[in-house]
Structure 1
Amino acid sequence: MKLKNRMLGAVPGGILVALGLVMSSAVYAAGSHGGGHHDEAPKYGKPGIASEATRTIQIELGDNFFAPEKLSFKAGETIRFEVVNKGEFVHEFNIGTQLMHAAHQKEMAMMMEHGAIEVDRINHDKMKMDMGGGHKMGHDDPNSILLEPGKSGEVIWKFSTSGSLEFACNLPGHYESGMVGEISVN
């Protein structure tokens, strides 16, 4: 679903944080946040090597949509994703399963609660602080990129096995507002 309106502008931040916490699951997917993105990653892929990329796919992040919304790859294919945030808010491009996204939403809500992420900026110094239990929120996982408005970056990923995945923005309220896309690996 493509939502190009500014739904977040009409919703108080506390509600978005609460929504993000409610939508999380018991699965812990935290990667460098504490050890989780990588727990599931071997099941569907691994960080790719740039020189082995067979295709480059441009991904646009908007408020609250992705363009394109659906992607299809072959098992074994290495893809370079060139990601640009054309929205007015911080957004994430994250490759994973539904369960990984549900769990990661809890981590992203925690990052917002601690001030590491604001609606339109990333506070990099705060991302280095302990968010509880020794977990730091570096958000430097190879299957994900977090971007401020107007910024760009890349994710290089090798899809290992056939199946269905998602790419999503897991900031509180974004996934629920439709900022999720489909990946089919054949």
Structure 2
Amino acid sequence: MSNGYTMMLKAGLLLLAAVSFALFTSASVLAHGSKPHGSKADDAGPVVKEQTLWGIAGDAADVVRTVDVTMGDDMRFQPASLRVKQGETIRFRVKNTGVLLHEFVIGTPEENAKHAELMLKFPGMEHDEPYMAHVDPGEVGEIVWTFNREGTFEFACLIAGHFQAGMVGNITVAAQ
């Protein structure tokens, strides 16, 4: 092969690598940008309230208490378990003390496990629900949630590998 052809081939491979990198990083940004999941601050409309097995999006005016939760690169939440009364509307203030991105997602153990498996297969998957807060390092996210059903639920970080590393906490909702 001629030296000119080899240089063109190398330049083409470098261009392909650069385009691939740009596409990969932009897909990650689209899926998990700096805006926390469930944050409707920049959206035109209000939070869509949809009943789930673990409750419904709450109104800030109905908050009865605020629960501060920290999450970090040790793949743990503090506190790791919470007790709530059925009917309570809670404001979760979730601080990411790590250097990695983390999530705080409320759900049933089954739903969170299913979602975590999907995140392993499709780590760039976009999702934005009122029971999710995606929090950049050093930042604080917020969720307002009404627990209108009794039961045992959980909060988890569903970013690929985090759930599998044990980044899960429990919520017990007791009947009134």
Determine if the TM-score, normalized by the shorter chain, exceeds 0.5. yes
Q: 1:145 to 1:83 in 2, by over 3 A?
A: same
TM-score with structure 1 length normalisation?
A: 0.63
Whether 2:135 is the aligned partner of 1:147: answer yes
Among 46, 52, 58, which residue is 1:48 paired with?
Answer: 58
Residue 7 of structure 1 aligns with which residue? Answer: none
Q: Is residue 152 of structure 2 the alignment partner of residue 164 of structure 1?
A: yes
Instruction: Return the alpha-carbon distance in structure 2 between the equivalents of residues 145 and 109 of structure 1.
Output: 18
SS class of match (2:92): strand
Moved more, 140-149 or 65-74: 140-149
Distance 1:91 1:41, change over 3 A: farther
- How many residue pairs match? The answer is 126
Distance 2:119 2:63 in 1: 29
The match for 1:98 is 109
Q: 1:94 & 1:143 partners in 2: Cα distance?
A: 6
Q: SS at the partner of 2:115?
A: helix
For residues 16-62 of structure 1, the C-alpha deviation after alignment (integer angstroms, 9 at most, x for no partner) is xxxxxxxxxxxxxxx9xxxxxx9x95222000000100000001011
User: Out of 63, 82, 93, which is 1:71 matched to?
Assistant: 82
Identity fraction in percent: 43
- Structure-2-length-normalised TM-score: 0.66
Distance 1:106 1:41, change over 3 A: farther
Alignment match of 2:96 (pick from 85, 89, 101): 85
* Shift of residue 173, structure 1, vs aligned partner: 1.6
Question: Which residue in 2 is equivalent to 1:134?
Answer: none
Structure 2 CA distance, aligned partners of 1:148 and 1:48? 23
Aligned-CA RMSD value: 2.0
Distance 2:163 2:114 in 1: 12
Q: Which SS does the other structure have where 1:184 is aligned?
A: strand
Aligned-pair distance for 1:87? 0.9
Query: Which structure 1 segments of 5+ residues have no match?
Result: 1-30, 32-37, 115-130, 132-136
Q: Whose Rg is larger? A: 2
Deviations 1:44-91 (A, max 9, x none): 200000010000000101111101001000000000000111111111
Query: Which of the pair has the greater relative contact order for Cα pairs under 8 Å at 6+ separation?
Result: 1
Separation in 2 of the partners of 1:111 and 1:83? 25
